[in-house]
Amino acid sequence: MTEIPEHLLKRSRERRAALEGTPAAAPAESSDNVPATTASSAPAAPAAPSGPAPRTAAPEAAAPPPPKPDSPVVAAYRARRKVPFWAMAALALLPIWTFMYVRSVTASAEEATGPLGMGAEVYSNCASCHGGGGGGGVGYAFTEGEVLATFPNIEDQLRYVLYGTGAYNVAGVEIYGNPDRPGGPHVTGARGAMPGFEGALTDYEILSVVCHERFTLGGADPTSEMWADEYEHWCSEESEYFLELEEGASLATLHEMHDSVLPIGDGPAEGSPAMEG
């Protein structure tokens, strides 16, 4: 507290008494001669603040609860490896590649020409008895040279396919093909009835399937000395006999047009004709 000088206090009392018309009171002295002060020693109460009441801060929002853990299925889905973007483009082109592949395979089948090309398709008429790959079944096998041992000459096989077991039985032929066949000759009807395809197939279809059985399934080598001549005239894409059959000639009369062709004949012949050369 700041102490006011005594002479100032006295002057103040005299001035107040003159205004009020009363004698100035003498200053009270304390027992310990301590000079009076202008204010008590008690601290003054603070003044009330003026103006609007201060705003109180809003209570803090409660923290959100922790997220619920993913189920095992969702967690596995999130953890799985994503398909890269380039793979999506490749998958989009997959149908086109499939279409192109099928077209290429189909085109190859359609482009097969000549007796061997046609014979592979006609062979479906024979596969149920002789096996899809010529390995045999109800009928004899063609593979591993078996058909070549039975029919050293293609004309003999053509005759048998043309007329079948029924015509051979009517003619009284017991052995078809080569009677001196290694391993024994084939007896007519021993492995079931061989149907005659005369009228069921065209003559050039019969030639084509026989070529397929001899050179594709039977293993005859068209470049060897034994089979080169037969392949050139009967089974090559330039086969003159095949072209003549396509133009309307028949197997039964083909020998009349070419002296080198063994006669097919109007009916089956006994045994196998002698090999030329």
* Position 12 in a domain: no
* Position 190 in a domain: yes
* Position 195 in a domain: yes
Structural domain boundaries enclosing 219: 115-257
Q: What is the pLDDT of residues 126-183, one digit of tens each?
A: 999 999 999 999 899 999 999 999 999 999 999 999 999 999 988 888 888 899 999 8
* Position 175 in a domain: yes
CA distance 93 to 99: 10
Three-state DSSP state, 83: coil
* Position 154 in a domain: yes
Q: What is the pLDDT of residues 54-67, one digit of tens each?
A: 666 666 767 777 77
pLDDT in the model for residue 236: 95
Pick out the chain residues at pLDDT < 70.
1-3, 21-59, 61, 73-74, 76-77, 80-112, 270-277
pLDDT in the model for residue 107: 44
CA distance 157 to 2: 148
**H/E/C letters for each residue in 145-186?**
CHHHHHCCCHHHHHHHHHHHHHHHHHCCCCEECCCCCCCCCE
For the chain, the domain total comes to: 1
pLDDT in the model for residue 5: 72
* Position 133 in a domain: yes
* Position 14 in a domain: no
CA distance 196 to 61: 99
pLDDT in the model for residue 273: 54
pLDDT in the model for residue 90: 59
| Closest of 235, 234, 243, 151 to residue 194, by C-alpha | 151
CA distance 118 to 122: 6
* Position 132 in a domain: yes
CATH classification at residue 168? 1.10.760
CA angle in degrees (0–180, nearest 5) for 156-157-163: 90
Provide the residue type at 109 as one letter: A
